[in-house]
Amino acid sequence: MSAGTAAVTGATGFLGTHLCERLLEEGWDVRGLSRPSSDRDGLEDVDWYVGDVLEEETLRPLVDGVDAAFHLAGVGLWSAGPETVERVNRDGTATLLSACRDADVGRLIFASTAGTRRTNGTKRFADESDVAEPIGAYQSSKAAAERLVDRYAETDGDAVTVHPTSIFGPGDDSFTPQLLAMGLEPTMPAYLPGGLSIVGVSDVVDGVLGAYHDGTSGEHYILGGENLTYDRAASRVADHADGSPARVPVPSTAIHAAGPVAEAVGAVTDRQVFPFDRQMARLATQKLFYSSEKAHDELGYEYEPLEAHLPETVAWYREQNA
């Protein structure tokens, strides 16, 4: 018997693929939104709706009659310019919410980012109450989308927002290869200053499903993992996989200096060639640590240490680089 019917935007992405696989394993009927050019291999049991997150005519039948709508679609500055990032992340969310208002939809789970939460310097770990001024188009677009979802939860429907930190696992083409390279590759001698919260993709899937089952409508939940400095994370990857950890820190001053250069290039070329500016460059050198205590208390959320996710992730990485 089906566990229910779920709609997933961003279904071919890193987190979306893992969520669809879990939903199918648990007996859900899964509808997935996919762009025409996206690779849908390996998810043959998903009922695909081919289109765009900005097309309400595609989104309305996608979400109509579902028990759960998981909104994971989004784009970052490595993949698109600021205007496209704002349009997809903010306006795409607005389009989805409009479709949900016109359809029969159960609970909506929106995956934002932990980047919209930061401490003001008075405590070590940020939590859901630490709403921060957005830095860059990605954070700005996600913060705007969060406000739209909050308004939907207040007036029209049932919605919960989750904030994953830096997601790690097989299938990721951005953060995971960079982290593993710092722990495995002799050609990667330097590590970044600062630190971050690293969470396995399977743990985030647990948290997303926990938000569906046990979250409170209108609430926000950080889905984080271990808070590690970059050098510590690289050393643990190397210890597990007999690698060569990066041993030289990149000076913070060098990263800070790169911010104005990126801004200048963007001004000359009229496009953001590098996905950061001086504010984002300074942010990259900080220890961006988070607490998942609220998700633990209300959703039963747990995360495993980095090493629990390394066997399959390192195997995947080496296969990609063979």
pLDDT one-digit tens code per residue, 207-222: 999 999 999 999 999 9
pLDDT at 232 over 80: yes
Residue type, 247: R
Q: What is the pLDDT of residue 265?
A: 35
Task: Enumerate the domain spans of the chain.
Answer: 5-170+198-225+290-305
- pLDDT of 198 > 50? The answer is yes
Is residue 191 scored above 70 in pLDDT?
A: no
Confidence band of 197 (pLDDT split at 50, 70, 90): very high
Q: What is the pLDDT of residue 208?
A: 98
Look at residue 290 in the predicted model and tell me its pLDDT.
96
- The verdict on pTM exceeding 0.85 is yes
Confidence at 283, pLDDT banded by 50, 70, 90: low
pLDDT for the residue 183: 86
Task: Please report which confidence band the pLDDT of residue 273 belongs to, taking 50, 70 and 90 as the band edges.
Answer: very low
Top-level CATH class of 5-170+198-225+290-305?
Answer: alpha beta
